[in-house]
Amino acid sequence: MGAKSKLSMGIKKKKPKTVTLRKVIEEAKRSMIPSNDAGVAIRSALKGAQATVKRADGKRNVRAPRILPVPSKVGGFLPFLVPVFAGLSAAGALAGGAAGIAKAVNDANSNKEQLKESQRHNETMEAIALCKGLYLKPYKKGLGLHLKSKNLK
């Protein structure tokens, strides 16, 4: 038995059947139903790709390259541009108006916060000037930092 092991004549480990990503993409292309409705075309391509992956016994047996090939064109391109640009221009106009409103709201909120902070700061500084003391966290009343009430010359 030792000789067989040394000569690799024993039981061989079977490699799992792997499929390249290119084969999955080709199968998706073959199964794609040409249609003007993008949803139908995508769904049919996805079904073909899923069937190929299932035949390979799961996605762990699909070898994917580091750089994925992306088809430059699927279906007609020019008729698709008009609604895209129309949608983008409409979204841009809405975004411009919405951005102005959002900026005004944010400015108002930040001004409120700034006013609250300055009022709190002024109260603290006046308390120090009136010799009431600056109270530290553990002692809300009584012990704290105090300024001398006498004027030093």
Contacts of 133 (CB under 8 A, 6+ apart): 127, 144, 145, 146, 147
* Tens of pLDDT, residues 82-113: 566 666 655 555 556 666 777 788 888 888 88
Domain coordinates of the chain in residue numbers? 15-67, 105-153
What's the pLDDT band for 143 if we cut at 50, 70, 90? Answer: low
Instruction: Output the pTM of the full model.
Output: 0.35
Q: Residue 60 carries which DSSP code?
A: G
pLDDT digits (tens, 9 = 90+) for 9-54: 777 777 777 777 778 778 888 888 877 777 778 778 878 888 888 8
pLDDT on residue 120: 84
pLDDT score of 149? 63
d(CA 40, CA 75): 13
Q: pLDDT per residue over 120-135, tens digit each?
A: 888 777 766 665 554 5
CA dihedral 76, 77, 80, 82 (to 10 degrees): -130
Enter the tokens of residue 19: 């499929």
Note the pLDDT of residue 141. 59
